[in-house]
Amino acid sequence: MAISHDSNETSYLLPPNTEDWEGHNIPDFVYGQKELVPEGIQWPRNTPSLPDTLPLSRFDSALCSAWRQRMELGLFRYRLGELQTRTLPGAVGFVAQLNVERGVQRRRPQNIRSVRQAFDPEQFNFNKIRPGEVLFHLHREPDLPGVLQQEDILVVINVSPLEWGHVLLVPEPARGLPQRLLPGALRAGVEAVLLSSHPGFRVGFNSLGGLASVNHLHLHGYYLAHRLPVEGAPSKPLDPGGRLHLLQALPAPGFLFYTSSPGPDLEALISRVCRATDYLTDHEIAHNLFVTRGGPPGKTSSSSALTGVRVILWARKPSFGVKEGEAFNVALCELAGHLPVKMSQDFSSLTEAAALALIRDCLLPPVQAEEVQAALVALTAQEEQ
């Protein structure tokens, strides 16, 4: 049941007259420390199908009501119904979904040639979207202890949605930032997960060469009403302080960062992750990142309690353009165990072994993977100096 709202609260809905959209003031969603909830959000016994079947936070209510209105107004490239979903038999627990329309209707990826490619204002970017696609500005109150002032984050619909509530978090679009992760963008993504009371609201980032289709800084956020393997996958520490872990389980090994408290601990995690992504970008190594509620590092399991936030980073082979003939393309959600499949015949025949083969084909060769691991461990050690 949704939280009730006072009649004088901010409305995140567009005016009924389309002629008024151009001059419509984008509403602000302002949140404080008390709304960042690291613990106490758990999966219900019966998994819900849509986010608004669970108690909603103020953030969920704003996002879902505005997103649903834009769907009803026809601002998306297709109308997203409830997607056919199945868990692939096997040890991993892949969640496969059939999303034919996204495979057909989504915008063609830009011509990306480098992980460090500069922003090109002539290409499509988020300064060119229609006014109705913007839901709200995401602002943190400026007085949170130990935290720098956050830049302006625009929350906009993804017009080719993967799932319900699929949005993009775009930091200060007028600055024309390339698709390179920055601390303010990551902070907004992690805090969006903490603002949601739905355990399946996830945020992610694709680098250039990691299947980012637009070279303009953005993160993805969306609801998926299913557990994913990475929430409780076991890990081993890579440094004595336990700040960097290696996620050992399938679908793919990745670097795990974890926090259970907003404030200074979260700021340290953001700094640590962005040092890692800076290293990868500077060395032309494509990467994907996924933010989800999950269990602490160590010997956890798929049914572990969600005690904090996991940030998982995968270094991978660069992939420029879309491979049309495969069941799915490997990016942030596929590495986490969520497989949006483009064709019905692939959806019905896809096996765990076939999915793992596609994912493994995108991972770094062992020697390069070991070099990256050593470099990130060394970066983590520099924190103590």
**What residues form DSSP beta bridges with 122?**
none
Query: Could you tell me if 199 and 214 are in contact, meaning their C-beta atoms sit under 8 angstroms apart?
Result: no
Is residue 272 classed as helix, strand or coil in its secondary structure?
helix
Tally of helices (H runs) and strands (E runs) in the chain:
8, 14
Is residue 292 classed as helix, strand or coil in its secondary structure?
strand
- Tally of residues, the chain: 385
Query: Could you tell me if 198 and 54 are in contact, meaning their C-beta atoms sit under 8 angstroms apart?
Result: yes
Is residue 89 reached through a cis peptide bond, with omega within 30 degrees of 0 on the bond before it?
A: no
In angstroms, rounded to a whole number, what is the distance separating the alpha carbons of residues 92 and 352?
Answer: 8
H-helix or E-strand spanning residue 222:
strand 219-223
Q: State the SS3 of 69-127.
A: HHHHCCCCCCCCCCCCEEECCCCCCCEEEECHHHHHHCCCCCCCCCCCCCCCCCCCCCC
- Look up tokens 């005690």; give the residue: 307
Task: Please compute Rg for the chain using Cα positions.
Answer: 20
The one-letter amino acid code at 120 reads: D
The one-letter amino acid code at 146 reads: G
Long-range contacts for 80-89 (Cβ within 8 Å, ≥24 apart)?
80/161, 80/163, 80/164, 82/49, 82/50, 83/163, 84/347, 85/226, 86/347, 87/226, 88/339, 88/350, 88/351, 88/352, 88/355, 89/351, 89/352
Is residue 245 classed as helix, strand or coil in its secondary structure?
strand
Q: Active site includes 218?
A: yes
In terms of Cα–Cα distance, which of 383, 371, 289, 377 is closest to 336? 289
Q: Which of 166, 216, 218, 245 is an active site residue?
A: 218
- The residues annotated as belonging to the active site are 218
